């Protein structure tokens, strides 16, 4: 059986095992609201987090990390410059990096920065529908960090971004959509409680970076999809044990730690389509 014929759930399960075997170092220059939760999510999954946002250190650290996360949630001056330094180092070192364009659209500083850095070849971009549309220049953003658009309405923008910047674009929503500009993979796993926990989406961006660091011979599209499947299945299992946000956040970390490759094989819900369908709609 060829690699492309292996179901995406099984390939994601295999990547989960690879991630835990390699324990990749993930450098996160993220927003100060979610640093702790992001680090704990990576630790629970089996990766090693570090948050180095000091100018003069961010670049050298990126060179030794397995992947880099750039999250624009709180774009203060020094972290912005550290992000630029880290992105440049990632380009030199061949380190995969992920852009999470939090709340871009109406807010000028982060919006300008997002448009500047997306041109520097991130391995993946992850955002909610309104953020992805704003990054593509076809929307004014959402309601703060919350989307006012749907996954379906952002598909055209996602495919265009993927083709323009030769990257993987992931749109997070009730059903996630991940595209390389040619194919779209839908992931139906998840829980609405993720929207009630501070850092729910931001932690997913860090997991995307971790799976990219551990992908080996797998494609970036498969790695980004694997992150969404694993996170979504863990969220569903957490929601079964906790019906409210506080306990859900704790159970989510527990499930990220407890989830197995067999769980992914059994519970992943995905479907595929050609990107052309999004462009023609």
- The pLDDT tens digits for 42-75 are 999 999 999 999 999 999 999 999 999 999 999 9
Residues of the chain with pLDDT below 50 are: 1-3
Distance CA 11, CA 121 (A): 25
- The CATH T-level fold of domain 3-271 is 3.40.1190
At residue 275, the pLDDT reads 84
Q: Tell me the per-residue pLDDT of 109-151, one tens digit each, with 9 for 90 and over.
A: 999 999 999 999 999 999 999 999 999 998 777 666 666 778 9
Long-range Cβ contacts of 91-94 (<8 Å, 24+ apart) = 91/120, 91/121, 92/63, 93/62, 93/63
Per-residue confidence (pLDDT) for residue 189, from 0 to 100: 98
| Residue owning tokens 């690699």 | 3
Q: What is the pLDDT of residue 278?
A: 64
Rounded to whole angstroms, the Cα distance separating 130 from 134 reads: 6
What pTM did the predictor assign? 0.95
pLDDT of residue 277: 67
Output the pLDDT for position 1. 35
Helix axes of 220-241 and 200-213: crossing angle, nearest 10 degrees: 140
Q: Would you say how long the chain is, in residues?
A: 281
């Amino acid at each position: 059986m060829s690699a492309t014929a292996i179901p995406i759930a099984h390939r994601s399960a295999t990547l989960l095992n690879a991630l835990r075997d390699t324990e990749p170092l993930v450098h996160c220059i993220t927003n100060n609201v979610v640093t702790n939760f992001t680090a704990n999510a990576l630790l629970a999954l089996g990766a090693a987090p570090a948050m180095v946002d000091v100018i003069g250190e961010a670049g050298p650290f990126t060179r030794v990390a397995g992947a880099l996360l750039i999250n624009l949630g709180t774009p203060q001056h020094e972290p912005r410059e550290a992000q630029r330094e880290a992105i440049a180092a990632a380009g030199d070192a061949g380190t995969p990096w992920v852009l999470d364009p939090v709340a871009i659209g109406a807010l000028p500083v982060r919006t300008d920065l997002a448009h500047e850095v997306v041109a520097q070849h991130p391995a993946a971009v992850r955002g909610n529908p309104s953020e992805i549309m704003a990054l593509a220049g076809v929307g004014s953003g959402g309601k703060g960090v919350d989307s006012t658009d749907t996954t379906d309405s952002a598909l055209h923008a996602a495919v265009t971004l993927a083709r323009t910047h030769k990257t993987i674009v992931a749109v997070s929503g009730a059903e996630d959509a991940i595209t390389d500009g040619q194919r779209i993979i839908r992931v139906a796993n998840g829980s609405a409680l993720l929207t009630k926990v501070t850092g729910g989406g931001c932690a997913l961006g860090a997991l995307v970076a971790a799976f990219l660091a551990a992908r080996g011979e797998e494609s970036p599209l498969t790695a980004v999809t694997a992150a969404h499947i694993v996170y979504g299945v863990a969220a569903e299992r957490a929601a079964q044990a906790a019906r409210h946000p506080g306990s859900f956040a704790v159970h989510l970390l527990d499930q990220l730690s407890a989830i197995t490759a067999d769980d992914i094989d059994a519970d992943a819900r995905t479907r595929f389509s050609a990107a052309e369908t999004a462009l023609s709609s």
